[in-house]
Amino acid sequence: MHAGVGYSDTPDTYAAGRQVALDALKQGGLGRPCDLVLLFFTAAHEAGVLRDAVASVVGAGVPIVGGAAVGVISNERFGYAGDQIVLAAFWFEGARCDFLAEGGLKESEEATGCRLGRRLAGLPEFSAASSLMLFYDAIDREDGRMRLVMATPLIAGLERGLGFLPNLIGAGLQGDYAASATRQIAEREVVRHHALALSFSGAVTLDNVIMHGCRPGTGYFTVTKSDMQTVLEINGKPALSFITSLLKNALTPDELPFSLILGVNRGKKWSRFDEKSYANRLCLAVDKERDGLVMFEPDMVAGTEFQVMYRSFDLDYIPPRIEKTFADAEAAGRKPVFALYIDCAGRAAGYAGTDLEDALMVQKSVAGRVPLMGIYSGVEIAPVEGRPRGLDWTGVFCLFSVPR
């Protein structure tokens, strides 16, 4: 397997599309048509025009898969909330990649996942040993309001259709901070409300590591009442009042959205803190009428134990995790060939109001050893204690490798 990456922030969509494709093919350096293109772009670009521009370079027969992103990252550049585009071209040698697209997310995430799972089960080389990448439209604006599409029921449906869950990473896609309607590219079509799956079999291995930089700031509390994604009671008390009292009014209710992070430890309760055992949940809004907290996912049901998390303002935790991922692959006799970084859009310094850009640290850590593609997403998906989960405020680093 070989890969090449191109990056652009040119406002002219057609020119930018050709540029990123030419740059990716040049970096790949094989001098022959690629087998697959992954393409991500901000809402500033028209998806159909961009797809046509890329196809004019890579050829009409090459599958183009991707969609919207708040921003993108390459080995040397990154940006968000502008005209950014990133493209990765792949050449598969001794490996197989199957692509499936399934619509209907706005009607039911779980039903869409189930249909997709059944189709995956029918692929000739798909098994529990396969690795899966899943990108889905995270924004539903069909009725004029903004509704977040949920990863939790989508993954549950996928498991129901498959009968198991493979090694899975992915992202909920959105194209800007305003949560505009998302566009996706599924080979020759521009679509919405789809789940896009890429199944890697054969020689390709995907290793991943979670990096959210949050640590527990409290002991454990228990959700005692919830309604879908709204936590209504904590320890038998109204959730919003409980949290504001716990924080000693350091944050007003209006300041809690996108600031309050609750961490669910999927490992051993009293063991030493391990970042990869935590699935974080970010507060999306407050329900003042019901004194509740509206979270990004609907899995904080009654009985869920959690801790209030605090964010680290030190990015030194990133390089050792990336270095270990490279070292583990090489120790297993595999050659790293491509890196993907899926980063919560809320972690971008310009949005979070900090001077810390984790994209810079990831670029520095990869150090040009492999082509790097990154996207800023609405939701991240990665395994926590062996089970794929939707995540918030998280960076997921994934390294592709092949036998030496």
Rounded distance between C-alpha atoms, residue 233 and residue 224, angstroms:
5
Edge-to-edge strand list for the sheet holding 64-68: 2-8, 85-91, 36-41, 64-68, 184-186, 189-191
Q: Do 168 and 298 reside in the same domain of the chain? A: no
Record the pTM: 0.96
Written as six digits, the tokens of 96 are 């197989």
Q: Which residue has the tokens 């990473």?
A: 169
Hey, what long-range contacts does 277-282 have (CB within 8 A, 24 or more apart)? 277/384, 277/385, 278/212, 278/214, 278/309, 278/384, 279/384, 279/389, 279/390, 279/391, 280/212, 280/214, 280/309, 280/391, 280/392, 280/393, 280/394, 281/306, 281/392, 282/258, 282/346, 282/392, 282/393
Q: Do 224 and 356 reside in the same domain of the chain? A: no
Pairing type for strands 395-403 and 205-211 reads antiparallel
Q: Do 206 and 250 reside in the same domain of the chain? A: no
Q: Do 16 and 85 reside in the same domain of the chain? A: yes
Q: Which residue has the tokens 């890196």?
A: 339
Backbone angles phi, psi at 253, to 5 degrees: -55, -35
Domain boundary among 311, 329, 356: 311
Q: Which of 198, 190, 144, 129 has its CA nearest to residue 169? A: 198
278, amino acid identity:
Y
Rounded distance between C-alpha atoms, residue 232 and residue 226, angstroms:
5
Extract the runs of DSSP E, i.e. beta strands, from 250-358: 261-265, 278-287, 292-295, 305-311, 334-344
What is the Cα Rg of the chain in Å? 20
Written as six digits, the tokens of 14 are 């057609």
Q: Do 298 and 321 reside in the same domain of the chain? A: no
Q: Do 8 and 120 reside in the same domain of the chain? A: yes
Backbone angles phi, psi at 56, to 5 degrees: -65, -20
pLDDT digit of tens for each residue in the chain (404 aa)? 999 999 999 999 999 999 999 999 999 999 899 999 999 999 999 999 999 999 999 999 999 999 999 999 999 999 999 999 999 999 998 888 999 999 999 999 999 999 999 999 999 889 888 999 999 999 999 887 899 999 999 999 999 999 999 999 999 999 999 999 999 999 999 999 999 999 998 789 999 999 998 999 999 999 999 999 999 999 999 999 999 999 998 999 999 999 999 999 999 998 899 998 999 999 999 999 999 999 999 999 999 999 999 988 789 999 999 999 999 999 999 999 999 999 999 999 999 888 889 999 999 999 999 999 999 999 999 999 999 999 999 999 999 999 99
Q: Do 99 and 235 reside in the same domain of the chain? A: no
Domain boundary among 311, 329, 360: 311
Residue 55 · residue 189 · CB < 8 Å: no
Domain extent at residue 250? 214-311
Q: Do 203 and 297 reside in the same domain of the chain? A: no
What total number of domains does the chain contain? Answer: 2
Helix (H) or strand (E) holding 3: strand 2-8
Residue 254, classed as helix, strand or coil, is helix
Residue 243's CATH number: 2.40.30
Q: Do 331 and 369 reside in the same domain of the chain? A: yes
Q: Do 292 and 339 reside in the same domain of the chain? A: no
Strand partners, 10: none
Rounded distance between C-alpha atoms, residue 198 and residue 180, angstroms:
25
Rounded distance between C-alpha atoms, residue 46 and residue 67, angstroms:
11
Helix (H) or strand (E) holding 199: strand 195-202
Backbone angles phi, psi at 63, to 5 degrees: -60, 130
Q: Do 181 and 290 reside in the same domain of the chain? A: no
Q: Do 157 and 295 reside in the same domain of the chain? A: no
Domain boundary among 311, 330, 357: 311
